[in-house]
Amino acid sequence: MRARRALRALSGIVRREMLRFVGQHGRFAAAVVRPLVWLGIFAVGFRSVLGLSIIPPYQTYILYEVYIVPGLVGMMLLFHGMQSSLSMVYDREVGSMRVLLTAPLPRWWLLGARLLANTITVLPIVYLFLVLARVWDVRPPVLGYAAALPMLVLAGLMLGALGLALSSIIRQLENFAGVMNFVIFPLFFASTALYPLWRLEEVSPMLAVIAWANPFSHAVEMIRFALYLQFEPVAFGMCSLALVVFFGLAVWGYDPGRGFWARRTAE
């Protein structure tokens, strides 16, 4: 009976988040349009600059397909994870988050169900982007789409857990919206989402070290290798470790005796 209640709660949370995401038409459209704008405008110009000034022209297509498109997939997961956590802050302010956490189930299960639901909602958007990317001749092996699925789930859970941990320590909705900019852009640009690590090492060894230590870099590398039917064990291990750490911080932060809840009770 306890397992049935847990599965029913998971099903209800997943269904709620999917209906909520689909109902937010502006957010739904932005999730698709944002990476397409990068792919259609920024990435094409980026490929041209690389082809003319840095690497031989015959390598530009490889760099464009193998590096930029998986990086944009990672960007989609990053933005979605942060925006989902923004909705967590909103739910906490209106009181629905407190109602959820008072359910007779372990707190880690409820938070994990919310995290899994947020990850499931973004997966169709990611695959829609990958299909549309074929218009730009970005065509990884067909089996690569299936091989990338577990890596997309892991990366989505890890980035969502990061946002969940942040939402547990930020009190107001306005503050979290500002913090998102200080998290998203450093994570994205100080990573291997747009540039190969060997190029960063040549330009700035310090930036290369930062990019290697950036968990977002490992999420992108994990997806990048999986799309071309390869497994990157270091990236997989780093993302798994980051997921455990971030989710542990989120569970600790949402403990009624600690973090935000303890401060609110004291007030």
Q: Residue 223's pLDDT is what?
A: 94
Query: Taking the CB of residue 202, how many other CB atoms lie within 10 A of it?
Result: 11
Cα–Cα distance, 135 to 81 (Å, whole number) = 27
Query: Which residue range(s) make up the domain with 28?
Result: 2-255
Given a contact cutoff of 8 angstroms between Cβ atoms, the answer to whether 117 and 156 are in contact is: no
Non-local CB neighbours of 81 within 8 Å, separated by 6+ positions: 118, 156, 159, 160, 161, 162, 163
Q: How many domains does the chain have?
A: 1
Mean pLDDT, range 223-236, rounded to an integer? 92
Q: Report the amino acid identity of residue 49.
A: V
Alpha helix locations (H) across the chain? 2-23, 25-37, 43-53, 60-63, 69-94, 96-101, 107-132, 142-167, 173-189, 197-203, 205-213, 215-227, 233-253, 259-266
Name the band, by pLDDT with cuts 50, 70 and 90, for residue 79: confident
Count other Cβ atoms within 10 Å, centred on residue 251: 22
What CA–CA distance (Å, rounded) separates 19 from 3? 24
Q: Which residue has the higher pLDDT, 258 or 191?
A: 191
Q: pLDDT by residue (tens digit) across 130-168?
A: 888 887 777 888 899 999 999 999 999 999 999 888 888
The closest of 128, 103, 139 to 29, measured between CA atoms, is 128
Place of tokens 């750490």: 245
Q: How confident is the model at residue 1 (pLDDT cuts 50, 70, 90)?
A: very low
Taking the model in full, what pTM does it have? 0.83
Cβ pair 208, 200 in contact under 8 A: yes
Residue 70 belongs to some domain of the structure: yes
| pLDDT tops 50 at residue 126 | yes
Q: Are 168 and 260 in contact (CB under 8 A)?
A: yes
Q: Categorize the per-residue pLDDT at 59 as very low, low, confident or very high, splitting at 50, 70 and 90.
A: very low
Q: Per-residue confidence at 192, pLDDT binned at 50, 70, 90?
A: confident
Q: If you search the block for the tokens 């930029």, which residue do you land on?
A: 68
Q: Quick check: 245 and 215 in contact, CB under 8 A?
A: no
pLDDT at residue 105, rounded to an integer: 77
- Record the tokens describing residue 35, joined without a space: 């990476």
pLDDT of 60 higher than 60: no
Is residue 264 situated within a structural domain?
no
**Stretch among 32-41, 75-84, 198-207 having the lowest mean pLDDT:** 32-41
Higher per-residue pLDDT: 176 or 153 = 153
> Measured at the alpha carbon of residue 211, what is the angle toward residues 207 and 214, in degrees to the nearest 5?
140
Task: Identify whether 228 is part of a domain.
Answer: yes
